[in-house]
Amino acid sequence: MKKLLLLLCISLQISCQDFGQLKVLADLPKKLDEVSGVEKDKNSEILWMLNDSGNSPKLYGVNLKGQIEKEIYIQTKNHDWEDLTSDEKGNVYIGDFGNNQSKRKNLVILKITPAELQKKNAEVLKIKFTYPNQTKYPPKKKQLYFDCEAVFYHQNYLYLFTKSRVKNKYGKTSLYKIPAKEGTYVAEFIGEYDNGDSNKSWITSADISSDGNTVILLSQKNIVFFSDFKEDDFFSGKVEKIELKHFSQKEGITFKDDKTLLITDEKAHGIGGFLYELNYNSSSFK
């Protein structure tokens, strides 16, 4: 009876919300109330998910119904996990680079090998980095450009998209890259893109299509698509946008296939906490 009432409450919660063009696939379990990233495993139907700062250092393997199939304890601290990605060999990379005040000196991406992903307690390889254009920790308020919530893997590199904390320039994001192997690096700056001035413009996740031809950035207000770019200067080509008609604290995006995206949002202010699907085509863009 209790389970029936719970399902009824969830159904009512979903039915009373307007999700715009987003299709709800699942109500995520309480363990993922603060989900901050999602990545489709390239060799299975599993979705990797994680929570941000203040939560246990755990990696979750979730199916498309929102059910947790794997729960892996990662043997390091969750300072501020914000996004994750994976490569063709099955390695998973966790971005511990949340940096609200741009004062962290311990920015790192955690690499978990396929062998470690089979364990309940996984050890990590650490990819440490700094930004080439940051000299003060923290910098002045007008230079708070070194927070980050978005990363993806592409051709042996990890590409980072920063999140601006500068008033009226919240949509500014800078693109950097570092090698996807253990070590300590100064990130290479590639370029910048401006998604708007409000905090709904914050870039909170990113991904690249399996053929490497399309890059997507997620914000609360939209999804930005980049194509026809030169090499890895992803901002150099064609730019298209899908304006989202549903507002929530969206934190994760990944390609399900070349025409379908999966999106997660954090449960906050009585909304969110879902896994969504978005199908798109040429008529979807503004």
Question: Starting from the edge strand earliest in sequence, which strands make up the sheet with 108-112, in order?
Answer: 81-86, 92-96, 108-112, 125-130, 183-186
Mean pLDDT of the chain: 93
Q: Looking at residue 265, what is its pLDDT?
A: 97
Q: Looking at residue 140, what is its pLDDT?
A: 96
Is residue 199's pLDDT more than 50?
A: yes
Is residue 127 classed as helix, strand or coil in its secondary structure?
strand
> How far is the CA of 174 from the CAs of 160, 213, 214, 216, 271, in angstroms?
8, 20, 18, 14, 30
What are 51-94's pLDDT values in tens digits?
Answer: 999 999 999 999 999 999 999 999 999 999 999 999 999 999 99
Residue of 217, 212, 173, 216 whose CA lies nearest to 191: 173
**Strand (E) or helix (H) holding 151:** strand 147-154
pLDDT, average across residues 5-17: 45
Is residue 236 classed as helix, strand or coil in its secondary structure?
helix
Going from N- to C-terminal start, the domains of the chain cover 21-284
Model confidence band, residue 43 (pLDDT cutoffs 50, 70, 90)? confident
Give the Cα separation of 216 and 239 in Å (integer).
10
Model confidence band, residue 133 (pLDDT cutoffs 50, 70, 90)? very high
What are 240-255's pLDDT values in tens digits?
Answer: 999 999 889 999 999 9
Residue of 46, 269, 21, 250 whose CA lies nearest to 149: 250
The region that residue 21 occupies, defined by phi over 0 for left and psi between -120 and 50 for alpha, beta otherwise, is alpha
- Please state, for a pLDDT cut of 90, what percent of the chain lies above it: 86
Is residue 132 reached through a cis peptide bond, with omega within 30 degrees of 0 on the bond before it? no
> How far is the CA of 232 from the CAs of 91, 195, 227, in angstroms?
21, 19, 11
CATH number, domain 21-284, options 2.120.10, 3.30.870, 1.10.8, 2.60.40? 2.120.10
60 Cβ contact list (under 8 Å, min separation 6):
31, 32, 48, 49, 50, 68, 70, 71, 72
Number of other residues whose CB lies within 10 A of the CB of residue 79: 17
Residue of 31, 29, 39 whose CA lies nearest to 6: 29
Residue 100's Cβ-count burial label (10 Å; 0-12, 13-18, 19+) is middle
The reply to whether the predicted model has a pTM over 0.75 is yes
Place of tokens 């000196």: 105
pLDDT, average across residues 219-238: 97
Contact 218, 150 (CB under 8 A): yes
Tokens of 181: 């192997």
Is residue 7's pLDDT more than 50?
A: no
What are 169-185's pLDDT values in tens digits?
Answer: 999 999 999 999 999 99
Model confidence band, residue 225 (pLDDT cutoffs 50, 70, 90)? very high
Q: Looking at residue 262, what is its pLDDT?
A: 98
